[in-house]
Structure 1
Amino acid sequence: MEQVIADARKAVPRHEEGTLDGWQQGGKWFKYEGHAIFSRMNGQGEPLVLLHGFPTASWDWSRVWPMLTQQYSVLTLDLLGFGFSDKPVNYPYSIEDQADLVQGWIEGLGLSSVHLFAHDYGCSVTQELLAREQEGALPFAITSVCFLNGALFPEVHHPLLIQKLLRSPLGGLVSRGLTRRSFERSFRRLFGSQNPPDQSDMEDFWHLLTYNNGRGILHNLIHFMEERRCHRNRWVRALQNASQPMRLISGTADPVSGAAMARRYRELIANPDVVSLRNIGHYPHFECPWDVFGAYREFRKRIG
C-alpha cells in the first residue's frame, strides 16, 4: 500500500503553548540512572508514545502535538543527552540504553500496551523495542508502529558531512567547537523547500542542542550510527517479523533517509504501507504537521 501526498501550502501552526518555554514549562521530570529526564503527557485515549530524533528533542513534535492529543493519550520525552534532559559527559550512550530508558518509563507508568510513533534516532530505539518484544523480553505490548524518516536500513543511509566528522577521531573537537553558523548551515540542508525553519525556529533548535552543555557530547551520541550497522540484521528482522501494523511516512526530499530509505522499505518489508510526502525533508512533523497527522490518523482508523 502506498500513498503520495502533495506538498501543502498553509502556514505552519504553533502548538497550544506557543513557545519553547511553554513546552518546557508544561513538562515533568523523572529519574533514570540518577539523571533527570524531561517528559510531557496530555490527551485521553489509547497511549501513544512519541520518540524523537538526533540531534533534536521532543520539541520536534510540538506542531503535531495539539492534533494528536485531541485523539490519543500522548506521551513523549527527551532521551538522555537530548533537549531538556540531563547530558552527562562521561556516559556510555547507546540505543540499547535509550530503549532501557523508554521501557522503564512505560513500565513505571503502568501501561500494558502502547502505540509507537518514532522519528530518526527514535526509529532505532523502536526497532530495539520490537526485537525485545519478539524475544519475549518486553513486559508490555506494542500495538502499532509508525515511522518517520528513520535510518531503518543503514546500507541506504546518507549521513551529512558534520555527522561523518563527529564520528571521526576528531569528533570531540568538532563537537565542542561547533558554532551556531555551522550548525545552521548543516541543519537547514535537512529540510525541504516548502516550509523551512525560520530564524526563530533555528534559535529554538540551537537552544535545545546547547542546553546544559549539549555540544560537548554530540560525538558520544553519534555512536548510534555504528550501532545501526552492528545490530542491522537483528533490527531489520524485527521489522520483517513484526506482527503489529506498521506504516512509514516518508519526506521524500530528505537527503539523509528519504526516498532511498522508502524504496528499501518496500523491498524488504512484506505488504509495505508507505506514505510519501513530496517536497518534504527530514522533519515532516515539523514541516507539514497536518499531512503527518492526517496520514497517522488514517493509519489508526484503518487498523481499528
Structure 2
Amino acid sequence: MASTWAEWVAGGERVDLDGSTVFVRQDGPPEGRPVTLLHGYPTSSHDWAPILPALVDAGCRVTVLDFLGFGASAKPYPHEYRLTAQADLVERVWEHFGGTETALVAHDYGVSVGQELLARDPARITRMAWLNGGLYVDLYRPLAIQRAMIGPAGKLLGRLMTERSFRLTLDRILGRPVPVAELHQMWLAMTAGGGLRVQWALNRYHAERRAQAQRWQRALESYPGPTLFVWGPADPISGGHLLPRLRERLPRAEFVVLDDEPATGHYPQVENPAAVGSALAAFLA
C-alpha cells in the first residue's frame, strides 16, 4: 500500500461534485462490505493509509475522501467551510459511486461530519466506529495554540505556520512516537494547494460544533446500530476524560482503549496502526 502522500493520491482520483473538486480513493474488492473513513483536522485521508491493508484483507470496500480544504481536494479561498457542507460532499461521493448503505469510521474533525450524517439518515449507516474526537463540546480541551487559531490571531498564525511548529504541536497530542518522515507527509498534505491560507477559515468549525451540539449528541446516543470506540487515552484534547461519559451514555457500545504503554494519543490510526487495524477489521467484518 501507499507509504507517501504522493503515492496515496496517485492511487485515487479527483472528482467534480457540485462544482467542488474532491479527492476520493477506493480500495478493496468491489463486492466487499462498504466502509467510509472520515479524516481529521488539519491533515487528510492519508492518515488512514497505515490501517488500510487490514481493512482490505478483511474484505472491506473502503472509500476515503479529503474534505474540501484538506489534502488533495480543492482549497478555495476565500470560502466559508462548514461541517454540514462537508457532510453534503460525503453524500455526493456515495451517490457518485453508487453507494447506498455503508459503515462509517470517523476521527477528530470527521466525528462531527459523522454525527451530522447520523442525524440526517441513521438508517444508511450500518455500523459506526469512532476514534478520538470532540463528540461532546463541553469535554473538548483545546491546546493554547488551538484556542489562538480559533480567534482573530489565527488569520496570521495559520499563514505563519512552519513544518517545525506543526511537528511541535503534534508532539503535544501524540502518545506514541511517530517518525519525522511520517509527520512530513502530513505536512505535505496540509500545505498542498495553498493549505496554509485556509487554516483560519477551516477552524470556524468550532462555532458550528457548538451550535449543533445538542442535535449531534442526540444522533450519537440514539444511533441503534453497532458502535465501537477505538480510543487513545493519552490524548490531551479528546482523550481518556471522554470515556466515562461515553460508557454511561452508550452502554451497548464496544470499547477498545489503547492504553498499553506507551498509551496512544490523538492519532490512533497513525500511532498504533496494528491495534487499530485489528480492532476495526474485526468490528467491520
Gaps of 5+ in 1: 1-15, 135-139
The yes-or-no answer on 1:243 pairing with 2:231 is no
How far is 1:282 from its partner?
0.7
For 1:85, the aligned partner's letter is S
Which residue in 1 is equivalent to 2:162? 179
1:140-172 superposed Cα distances (whole Å, 9 cap, x missing partner): 711000000011001111112221111111111
Report runs of 4+ in structure 1 exceeding 3 Å deviation.
none
Unaligned runs of 5+ in 2: none
Residue type of the alignment partner of 2:141: H
Instruction: Give the paired residue count.
Output: 279
CA-CA distance at 1:299 after TM superposition:
2.1
Secondary structure of the residue aligned to 1:150 is coil
Q: 1:299 is matched by which residue type in structure 2?
A: F
Deviation of 1:212 (Å): 0.7
1:153 pairs, out of 136, 142, 145, with 136
The answer to whether the 8 Å contact 2:264/2:272 transfers is yes
2:279 to 295, 298, 303: 295
CA RMSD of aligned residues (A): 1.3
Identity %: 38
Partners of 1:171 and 1:18 lie apart in 2 by 31
> Partner of 2:211 in structure 1?
230
Distance in 2 separating the partners of 1:230 and 1:236 = 12
Deviation at 1:124, TM superposition (A): 0.6
Report deviation, 1:192.
0.8
State the partner residue of 1:284: 268
Residue 66 of structure 1 corresponds to which residue in structure 2?
Answer: 53
Structure-2 residue corresponding to 1:40 = 25
Distance in 2 between residues matched to 1:18 and 1:300, nearest whole Å: 23
Match of 1:199 among 148, 164, 180: 180
Instruction: Name the SS for the 2:173 alignment partner.
Output: coil
TM-score, normalising length: structure 2: 0.94
CA distance in 1, matches of 2:171, 2:63: 28
So what's the TM-score if we normalise by structure 1? Answer: 0.89
Determine the C-alpha separation between the residues in 1 that align with 2:173 and 2:111. Answer: 17
Moved more, 143-152 or 34-43: 34-43
Alignment-derived partner of residue 3 in structure 2: 18
Matched, 1:264 2:252: no
- Once the two structures are TM-superposed, the CA of residue 273 in structure 1 deviates from its matched residue by 2.1
Which secondary structure state, in structure 1, belongs to the residue aligned with residue 37 of structure 2?
strand
Superposed CA deviations along residues 103-138 of structure 1, whole A, max 9, x for unmatched, are 11102211121000111111110100000015xxxx
Q: Deviation per CA, 1:22-77, whole angstroms, max 9, x where unpaired?
A: 11111101013322111110102111100100001000000001111122000101
Q: Does the 8 Å contact 2:104/2:127 carry over to 1?
A: yes
C-alpha separation in 2, matches of 1:236 and 1:185: 32
Equivalents in 2 of 1:39, 1:262: separation in Å?
32
* Counterpart contact for 1:60–1:286, Cα < 8 Å: yes
Letter in 1 for 2:208: E
Shift in Å, 1:21: 1.9
Return the letter of the residue paired with 1:129.
L
Matched letter for residue 49 of structure 2: S
d(CA) in 2 for partners of 1:88 and 1:143?
33
Per-residue CA deviations over 1:280-303 (Å, capped at 9, x if unaligned) read 0111111111111221223234xx
1:169 aligned to 2:152? Answer: yes
**Cα deviation digits, residues 192-220 of structure 1 (max 9, x gap):** 13xx2212112111111111110111111
Structure 1 300/202 Cα, relative in aligned 2: closer, same or farther at 3 Å?
closer
